[in-house]
Amino acid sequence: MSTTASEYVGNIRDTVTSFWHGMSVTLSQVLRRPITVQYPDRLELPVQDVLPARYRGFLEVDVDICTGCQACERACPISCISIELEKDPSNPKQRVVTQFDIDEAKCMFCGLCVEPCPTGSIQHTREFEATQRSVRNLVFRWADPIKPFPVYKVVKGAPYIPRAPLGSLVQALVARRRWDAPALTYLPPEPLKAPPPPPPKPAPAAKPAAAAAPAAPAAPAAAKPDAPKP
């Protein structure tokens, strides 16, 4: 592999010109403003204001205008919304929502639940900051089982449906909760698994216990200490 004189000189010229242009480009970068956004503490605007226009953050449910139709629950492709409805014991014609849980840890923020909602009760907010030590605390409970909320009946001919300011409810919910709060205990306990080193004899004995566990949701506190961590 021999190099002619013109190639030799050409190589030197190429090296010099590429140095020239390359170093000029990097120097011009030094003189420009870095594009880094120093989240979270050195922002010029609140982070909610610099997010993209159609940003989909945590789901928020305005329980005052929820009709209890469960369209969102059916629309959810990964079943992270679970809704329970009961009849109000004092007023049999009135249905109440006893459970409206959204697991934001499971939610994939697809927005399919927002579309079928007849009143615009469930909406994506621009909130996304709710770090929790326990992932179970990312289950946002919009209904209180002790004090269930009645379903909303749309007034015929109403010009608009009043809704709380978007994001205010999620902010209040997040603000009420410590980041290191203990994990929720009212979830159904997980089925008991066989102990780690299973001796051949007690293995069948573990099965009835696992079967019994979902049937006894009334005693979650008792079942909790035995439940293995996921």
Partner 1 sequence: MTQFSFAFPKPGTKKLLVGASLGAVIGIPVLLACLLVFVIPMMHKPLFDAFIREKLGRDPASWAGTQWTYGLAFFVAGIVMFTFAAITGGIFSWYERRVAARMQSRIGPNRVGAGGFLQWIADAVKLLFKEDLVPGEADALVFRAAPYFVVAGMTLVLVALPAGQAIVVADLDVGIFYILAVTSFIVVGVILSGWSSNSKWSLFGAIRATAQIISYEIPAGLAILVPVLMAGTLSTQGLIQAQGGWPWEWFFFRNPAAAVAFFILFISQLAEGNRTPFDLAEAESELVAGYFSEYSGFRFALYFLVEWANLWIIGAVATTLFLGGWQIPGVGTQTWAAVRGSGSFPAWGWWALQFVSLGVFALKTLFLVNVVIWIRWTLPRIRIDQMMTLCWKYLVPAGFAAMLFTLIWQMIATWAPVVERITALAVLAATIWVTWRFLVQTRKNVSLIAHERIDLSNW
CB of 11 to partner 1, least distance (A): 8
Q: How many residues bind partner 1 (CB under 8 A)?
A: 23
**What residue has token string 């289950």?**
139
Question: What gap in Å lies between CA 122 and CA 154, rounded to an integer?
Answer: 15
Q: Which stretch binds partner 1 (CB under 8 A): 16-24, 103-111, 157-165, 172-180?
A: 16-24
Taking CB under 8 A as the criterion, the residue among 2, 4, 6, 33 binding partner 1 is 33
Nearer to partner 1, 30 or 218 (CB): 30
Three-class SS state of 103: strand
Q: Which stretch binds partner 1 (CB under 8 A): 23-31, 63-71, 86-94, 143-151?
A: 23-31
Decide: helix, strand or coil at residue 181: coil
Residue 86: strand pairing partners: 96
Contact (Cβ atoms closer than 8 angstroms) between residue 69 and residue 153? no
Binders of partner 1 in range 36-55 (CB under 8 A): 36, 38
Please select the residue that binds partner 1; options are 17, 24, 91, 185, rule is CB under 8 A.
24
What is the nearest approach in angstroms of partner 1 to the Cβ of residue 102? 36
**Residues whose CB is less than 8 angstroms from the CB of residue 195 and which lie 6 or more positions away in sequence, other chains included:** 202, 206
Q: Give 33 or 201: the residue with its C-beta nearer to partner 1.
A: 33
CB of 22 to partner 1, least distance (A): 5
Q: Which one of 2, 6, 28, 90 is in contact with partner 1 (CB under 8 A)? A: 28
Q: How many residues does the chain have?
A: 230
- Which amino acid is located at 209 in the chain? A
Of the candidates 180, 183, 69, 80, the residue with the CA atom closest to the CA atom of residue 133: 180
Beta strand 95-103 with 139-141 is antiparallel
* 8 Å CB contact between 71 and 121: no
| 90 binds partner 1, rule: CB under 8 A | no
Query: Which one of 14-22, 109-117, 147-155, 175-183 is the stretch in contact with partner 1 (CB under 8 A)?
Result: 14-22
Residues that bind partner 1 (CB under 8 A): 3, 8, 11-12, 19-36, 38
